[in-house]
Amino acid sequence: MIPAAAFGCWFDPKPKNRYNVSISSTQTPMTVSQSALAKVHDLYVMQIELWKHLREGNFQKADQRKETQKCLKQFSRLLDQVDWHYMGGEDVLAELKTMRGEVSAQLRNIRRRKTKRK
């Protein structure tokens, strides 16, 4: 599964007990469809996280920009791994790929503007 740190520290896909031990180690392994659905769920959670970053639009701060880049990288990895059959169709996948391109373009434009000022 995906490490919790990859989600910007607020989302932990594996619940832990009070001893900070993953609960999933005591559960049965996931089936293929459960695993695919879990990836789709994680992708949608990352999509919401990216929307938050876009809504705030505070890319001038280096730490905010790095966090957005980290979320975009994780979102891209998940987008490449998911099966579109479990997420509503090819049109949904195409729309998420478009979103990935838009966020990436915004981050590139910020970096270009920053280098032109120097």
Domain ranges of the chain: 31-117
DSSP letter, residue 22: B
Cβ neighbours, 10 Å, residue 2: 19
User: For the chain, what percent of residues have pLDDT higher than 70?
Assistant: 68
Highest mean pLDDT among 74-78, 83-87, 106-110: 74-78
pTM for the predicted model, two decimal places: 0.65
**What's CA 79's distance to the chain center, in Å?**
9
**pLDDT at residue number 13:** 57
CA–CA separation, 67 and 95 (whole Å): 22
In tens, the pLDDT along 24-43 reads: 555 567 788 888 899 999 99
Percent of the chain with pLDDT over 90: 22
